[in-house]
Amino acid sequence: MSLRHAILVLLQDQEASGYDLAREFANSIGLVWNATHQQIYLELGKLNEQNMVSYRHVPQEGKPDKKLYQLTDEGREELIRWLKKPAGPARIRDAFMVKVAGGQLADTQSLLSELEQLAKQRRERLATFEALAKRLDDEGLEDNLFNYLTVRRGILDQRAWLQWAEEVRRTLEDLSVSSATP
C-alpha cells in the first residue's frame, strides 16, 4: 500500500487540501499513481489519526472552507523509512491495450477512432509536461531536480505512446484499404 506515501510525497513540497491533491492525482502524479477524491479524503483522515499529517482549517468566502494538510515530523520519518525499502513492481491495468490484443474480433474503425481520441489526450499531456519542464529548467534545476526527472518520464512516456499509435494507425489503415479492395 503506498497511496499514503504518494500523498506524503506531495505534501513534502507544500501544504495542500484534499481537493488540491485530487487535482494533482488527476494530472501530474496520476501518470504514476492514480486515486480518486474519495480515496484521498479517506487516506488523509487515516494519516491524520496516525499523526503523519496535521491540518489547519481555512475559511473561505464564496467557496467552501478547506483543510490545508501538512507533513508532521512523524510523517516525514515514515516517508524516509518507506523510501529506503525497495519498491514493489509496477502494476498496470490498461484496458485499451487489452482491446488491441483482442483486435481480431474488434471493429477496426472504432479501434482507430478510439486510438485517435487517446492520442489527442496524450498530445495535450505532452504539451503540458513540456511546458512544465521548461519552467522548471528556467527556475533552476537544482531546486527542482526530482520534479524535473518525474516530468521527463512523463514526456518520454507520451512520446513513446504517440510513436506507437502512429505505427498502429498506419498498419490498420493499410489493412482497411487492402480489405476494401479484394
Partner DNA sequence: AAGCGCTGCGCAATCCGTTGTATAAGCACT
Partner DNA sequence: AGTGCTTATACAACGGATTGCGCAGCGCTT
Q: Which residues bind DNA (CB under 7 A)?
A: 1, 3, 17-20, 22-23, 34-39, 41-42, 44-45, 60, 62-67, 88, 91, 93
Contacted by 8, from DNA, a copy of itself, none: CB < 5 to 8 Å by type: a copy of itself
**Max CA distance (Å), the chain:** 70
> How far apart are alpha carbons 151 and 144 in whole angstroms?
10
The DSSP letter of residue 94 is -
Q: Within positions 35 to 64, which residues make up the interface with a copy of itself, using CB under 8 A?
A: none
Q: Minimum Å distance from CB 34 to DNA?
A: 6
Which three three-digit cell numbers place residue 69? 494538510
Q: Within positions 1 to 30, which residues make up the interface with a copy of itself, using CB under 8 A?
A: 2, 5-6, 8-9, 12, 29
The DSSP letter of residue 86 is P
Among 60, 91, 138, 177, binds a copy of itself (CB under 8 A): 91
Instruction: List, in order, residues 6 or more apart from 85 with CB less than 8 Å away.
Output: none
Decide if 124 contacts 161 (C-beta within 8 A).
no
- Alpha-carbon distances of 122 from 86, 162, 173, rounded to whole Å: 30, 7, 21
Q: Catalog residues that contact a copy of itself under the rule CB under 8 A.
A: 2, 5-6, 8-9, 12, 29, 31-34, 76, 79-80, 83-84, 86-107, 110, 114, 145-147, 149-150, 152-153, 156-157, 159-161, 163-164, 167-168, 171, 175
